[in-house]
Amino acid sequence: MLNNITEADHFSGLAIKAIPNETYTRGTRGSVLVEKGAINEGMNLLFHSMDFQFVNNATLSSAVYLMLAYFIRGDVNESDKYFRFIRTNENRLDADERILYERSLKKMQRKEIAE
């Protein structure tokens, strides 16, 4: 669903209604919302999965989208905090997280070039 935000939105919306307190469900929904442009709503869900002291798939995925969300909002210092966390733990990114990370970096680069 990486390239189909409409489908991702539909299914993540169903999942969050079915199991609203599950970490991965919140993270997925939050990521989709950031992709859709609902930055604040997405960030609120992603914060639930973020823990700088505990590195796992949930924290790394959340960090990727929090990095992107803060960048979109223009808060480069906060974005950089999440970027540094990811870079420090880059060897722990699984294949899917690496794709998300690289796509987010490209989006950030395109936004910088456009400005």
Q: What pLDDT, on the 0 to 100 scale, is given for residue 111?
A: 75
Are the C-beta atoms of residues 51 and 41 closer than 8 Å to each other? no
User: For 5-114, CATH number?
Assistant: 1.25.40
Provide the residue ranges of all domains of the chain, joining segments of one domain with +: 5-114
Q: What pLDDT, on the 0 to 100 scale, is given for residue 103?
A: 93
Q: What pLDDT, on the 0 to 100 scale, is given for residue 60?
A: 96
Below-70 pLDDT ranges, the chain? 1-2, 112-115
Q: What pLDDT, on the 0 to 100 scale, is given for residue 16?
A: 93
Q: Model-level pTM greater than 0.85?
A: yes
Per-residue b/e over 39-70, b at no fewer than 16 CB within 10 Å? Answer: beebbebbeebbeeeeeebbbbbbbbbbbbbb
